[in-house]
């Protein structure tokens, strides 16, 4: 009898709500009257409204039960030295990649400190991205300008965000130099206005190229890139073709002074094949695991590599990361950094913020659903340098070296709980020697090609 009464009440309620909606799907007056009952002016609702009118949501949702600092001891930590600062630029991917190499450089050559020039590789990144865009416009010239691929290209002609294949392709092609050889400029540290100018110019060129005869395109593209090069030199400085550099030991004694080209410098001090020695590992629950995927046009160099990755369950990703850290090797790591972050403590912890209590509602989406609805995705790259393992060898927390300066977070780093890692970590780039044979075997698959506008593949900034 009770079930029958409940069913009848539910049907009456559904009929009432259905009739309240306007015929065209809009909000009718009757429907609005029902919607307004969502706020009834209870004491709890008034308290929330009063607080929210004068304070940030982040401050009010800070969980008072989780104010204590996370224990900062780590059972395994990679040797690093110093914190970098990408300033007001979107170059986290480049800083992260160079920081991985910087750690190796310091360890291998027993240096007191060292930093690669991010500006040097950023210069060629923007030049190569300009060529990538212009050549893609040529390649798609037969498509209508309203075609989704052409539209995507025109919306995204260039930017200073990116991912690891940019690091590998650029260094293998152009080498690397010490920071003091090509220092930062105002424009390299503050890239927004320079980016606006480059985008405007490239879009202008795109329209011109689409109207040119095919036999004129290559020559005109070279002329266009010549002008882009001039603009880049004026903004970032001219990249050196050779330079003199003195290496010092930890005691401050000069060891050697030599003249290098950027490629000979990289070859002498690291010489690692970045394009063939690293594998991008993803945890994307929206797609089948143990499969290889490739993203069209998601590269930095036209004749370079698209973003290609192996999709693995989170526990297997952790296995690879732990193996690398135990061997004192840092990794390129990316995540959705702004979720549940306490920037003052420098922690990433699901218990940092309590939105549910503040707004008296719930947020039940899981990782897969957040990706599908664009609620979450990889936004920032950092260098994974530490893990804290319990007695059973299971991770309790992780630490990344950030590129927001030494004053940010916890001594320039961020500490994340393992629970946060599960939900908002997306990828690591791991050396092949730390990857088991069964995972490496997956690279023999033909990759599934994905479109560049997929929600998972925005450039990391």
Active-site residue set:
92, 380, 402
Contact 153, 87 (CB under 8 A): no
Alpha-carbon span 96 to 322, nearest angstrom: 18
* Cα–Cα nearest to 338, from 357, 322, 353, 316: 353
* 398 bridge partner residues: 387, 416
Q: What are phi and psi of 310, to 5 degrees?
A: -100, 130
The 3-class SS string of 91-154 reads CHHHHHHHHHHHHHHHHHHCCCCCCECHHHHHHHHHHHHHHHHHHHHHHCCCCCCCCHHHHHHH
Contact 420, 340 (CB under 8 A): yes
Alpha-carbon span 74 to 399, nearest angstrom: 8
Contact 443, 293 (CB under 8 A): no
Alpha-carbon span 171 to 100, nearest angstrom: 13
User: What is the SS3 assignment for 233?
Assistant: helix
* Cα–Cα nearest to 328, from 98, 100, 97, 167: 100
Alpha-carbon span 206 to 284, nearest angstrom: 34
Buried b (16+ CB within 10 A) or exposed e, 275-287: eeebbbbbbbbee
The dihedral through the CA atoms of 369, 371, 376, 378 has a sign that is: positive
């Amino acid at each position: 009898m009770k079930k029958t009464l409940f069913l009848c009440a539910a049907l009456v309620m559904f009929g009432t709500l259905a009739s309240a909606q306007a015929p065209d799907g809009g909000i009718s007056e009757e429907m609005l009257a029902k919607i307004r009952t969502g706020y009834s002016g209870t004491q709890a609702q008034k308290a929330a409204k009063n607080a929210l009118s004068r304070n940030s949501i982040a401050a009010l949702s800070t969980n008072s039960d989780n104010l204590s600092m996370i224990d900062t001891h780590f059972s395994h930590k990679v040797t690093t030295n110093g914190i970098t600062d990408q300033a007001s630029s979107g170059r986290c991917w480049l800083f992260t990649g160079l920081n991985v190499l910087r750690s190796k450089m310091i360890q291998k050559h027993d240096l007191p400190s060292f930093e690669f020039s991010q500006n040097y590789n950023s210069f060629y990144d923007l030049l190569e991205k300009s060529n990538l865009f212009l050549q893609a416009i040529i390649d798609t010239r037969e498509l209508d300008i309203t075609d989704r691929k052409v539209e995507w290209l025109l919306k995204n002609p260039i930017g200073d965000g990116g991912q690891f294949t940019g690091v590998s392709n650029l260094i293998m092609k152009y080498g690397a130099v010490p920071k003091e050889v090509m220092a930062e400029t105002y424009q390299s540290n503050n890239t927004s206005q320079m980016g606006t100018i480059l985008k405007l110019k490239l879009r202008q060129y795109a329209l011109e190229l689409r109207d040119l005869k095919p036999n004129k395109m290559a020559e005109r593209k070279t002329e266009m890139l010549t002008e882009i090069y001039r603009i880049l030199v004026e903004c970032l400085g001219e990249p050196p073709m050779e330079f003199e550099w003195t290496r010092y030991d930890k005691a401050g004694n000069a060891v050697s002074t030599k003249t290098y080209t950027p490629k000979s410098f990289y070859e002498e001090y690291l010489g690692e094949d970045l394009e063939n020695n690293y594998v991008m590992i993803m945890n994307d629950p929206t797609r089948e695991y143990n499969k290889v995927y490739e993203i069209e046009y998601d590269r930095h160099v036209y004749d370079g590599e698209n973003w290609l990755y192996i999709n693995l369950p989170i526990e297997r990703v952790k296995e690879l990361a732990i193996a690398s850290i135990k061997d004192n090797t840092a990794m390129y790591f990316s995540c959705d950094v702004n979720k549940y972050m306490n920037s003052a403590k420098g922690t990433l912890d699901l218990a940092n913020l309590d939105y549910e209590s503040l707004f008296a509602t719930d947020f039940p989406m899981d990782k897969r659903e957040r990706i599908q609805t664009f609620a979450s995705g990889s936004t920032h790259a950092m260098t994974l340098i530490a893990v804290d393992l319990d007695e059973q060898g299971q991770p309790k927390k992780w630490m990344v070296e950030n590129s927001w300066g030494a004053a940010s977070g916890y001594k320039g780093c961020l500490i994340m709980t393992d629970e946060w890692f599960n939900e908002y970590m997306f990828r690591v780039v791991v050396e092949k020697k730390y990857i088991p044979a069964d995972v490496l075997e997956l690279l023999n698959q033909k990759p599934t090609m994905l479109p560049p506008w997929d929600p998972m593949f925005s450039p990391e900034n």
